[in-house]
A = this chain, B = another copy of it.
Amino acid sequence: MSDAPQPLRIALAGLGTVGAGVIRLIEANSALIARRAGRPIAVTVVGARDRGKDRGVDLTRYAWEDDMVIMGERADVDVVVEMVGGSDGPALACARTTIEAGKALVTANKAMIAHHGLELAAKAEAARVALKFEAAVAGGIPVIKGLREGAAANEIERVYGILNGTCNYILSTMEDSGRDFADVLAEAQAKGYAEADPAFDIEGTDAAHKLSILAAIAFGSSLDFAGVETSGITRLRAADIAQADALGYVIRLIGMADVMDGAEGKCLFQRVQPHLVPFDHPLAHVDGATNAVVAEGNFSGRLLFQGAGAGDGPTASAVVADLIDIARGEIGAPFSVPVAELEVMTTADAGQRTGRAYVRLMAADRPGVLAEITAAFRDAGVSIESLIQKGRSDDGAVMVAMVTHEGPESAVSEAVRLLAGSESLTESPLVLHILGD
Chain A interface residues (CB < 8 Å from chain B): 21, 25, 28-29, 32-33, 35-38, 134, 140-142, 145-146, 149-155, 220, 282, 285, 292, 297-308, 311, 313-314, 316-321, 323-325, 328-330, 332-333, 336-337, 341
Q: Contacts A28-B298, A36-B336 given; indicate if A142 touches B303 (C-beta within 8 A).
A: yes
Q: Which of B150, B300, B321, B329 contacts A151 (CB 8 A)?
A: B321
A155–B341 contact, CB under 8 A?
A: no
Decide: A152 near B321, CB < 8 A? Known: A146-B142, A299-B21, A314-B299: yes
Report 19 cross-chain contacts, Cβ distance below 8 Å, ordered by A residue: A32-B220, A35-B337, A36-B152, A36-B220, A38-B333, A140-B297, A145-B150, A146-B150, A146-B305, A149-B324, A150-B321, A154-B317, A299-B313, A301-B311, A302-B307, A303-B307, A304-B304, A304-B306, A306-B306
The docked-state distance in angstroms from the alpha carbon of A318 to that of B299 is: 9
The answer to whether B297 and A301 have CB atoms under 8 Å apart is no
Is the CB–CB distance between A149 and B325 below 8 Å? yes
Give the shortest distance, in Å, between A28 (CB) and chain B (any CB).
7
List, in ascending order, chain B residues with CB within 8 A of A304's CB.
Answer: 292, 304-307
Is A152 within 8 A of B324, CB to CB?
Answer: yes
Chain B contacts of A153 at CB under 8 A? 25, 29, 33, 316-321, 323-324
Q: Which of B149, B155, B307, B319 contacts A29 (CB 8 A)?
A: B155
- Residues on B with beta carbons closer than 8 Å to the beta carbon of A316: 153, 299
Min distance, Cβ A296 to any Cβ of chain B, angstroms: 10
- On chain B, the residues within 8 Å of A320 by CB distance are 152-153, 299
CA distance A332 to B328 in the complex (A): 7
- In the complex, which residues of chain B have a beta carbon less than 8 angstroms from the beta carbon of A306? 282, 303-306
* Complex contacts, A324 vs chain B, CB 8 Å: 149, 152-153
Distance between A328 CB and nearest chain B CB, rounded to angstroms: 6
Bound Cα distance A140, B156 (Å) = 14
Cβ of A149: which chain B residues have Cβ within 8 Å of it?
A: 142, 145, 149, 321, 324-325
Q: Closest approach, in angstroms, between the C-beta of A93 and any C-beta of chain B?
A: 27
Q: Which residues of B contact A336 (CB under 8 A)?
A: 36
What CA separation (Å) do A330 and B325 show in the bound complex? 10
Closest to A139 in B: B300
Enumerate chain B residues within 8 angstroms of A337, measured Cβ to Cβ: 35-36
Kindly report which residue of chain B lies nearest to residue A320, judged by CB atoms.
B153
A140-B300, A150-B142 given as contacts; is B313 within 8 A of A32 (CB)? no
**Residues B220 and A140 in contact, CB atoms below 8 Å apart:** no
A404 to B153 CA separation, bound complex (whole angstroms)? 47
Shortest Cβ distance from A142 into B: residue: B150
Q: Cα distance A134–B302 when bound, in Å?
A: 17
Residues of chain B within 8 A (CB-CB) of A151 are: 142, 317, 321
CB closest chain-B residue, reference A319:
B153
* Chain B residues whose CB sits within 8 angstroms of the CB of A328 once the complex forms: 330, 332
Q: A297 near B317 (CB under 8 angstroms)?
A: yes
Name the distance in Å between A346's Cβ and chain B's nearest Cβ. Answer: 20
Residues of chain B contacted by A152 (CB below 8 angstroms): 33, 36-37, 320-321, 324-325
In the complex, residue of chain B having the shortest beta-carbon distance to the beta carbon of A217: B36
What is the minimal beta-carbon distance from A172 to any residue of chain B, in angstroms? 12
CA–CA, A142 to B336, complex, Å? 16
Within the complex, which residue of B282, B297, B308, B318 is in contact with A302, where a contact is CB–CB below 8 Å? B308
- CB of A300 within 8 A of CB of B308, answer yes
Q: Tell me which of B142, B299, B317 contacts A299 (CB under 8 A).
A: B317
Distance, CA A38 to CA B324, complexed state (A): 22
Kindly provide the distance from the CB of A293 to the nearest chain B CB, expressed in whole angstroms: 11
Within 8 Å by CB of A313, from B29, B300, B325, B333, lies B300
Compute how far the CA of A337 lies from the CA of B21 in the bound complex, rounded to whole angstroms: 24
Cβ contact within 8 Å between A317 and B305: no
Chain B residues whose C-beta falls within 8 Å of the C-beta of A313 in the assembled complex: 298-301
Contacts of A38 in B (CB 8 A): 332-333
Closest CB in chain B relative to A285 CB, distance in Å: 5
Minimal beta-carbon separation of A216 from chain B (angstroms): 13
Residue among A32, A316, A324, A333 with max Cβ neighbours from chain B (10 Å): A32
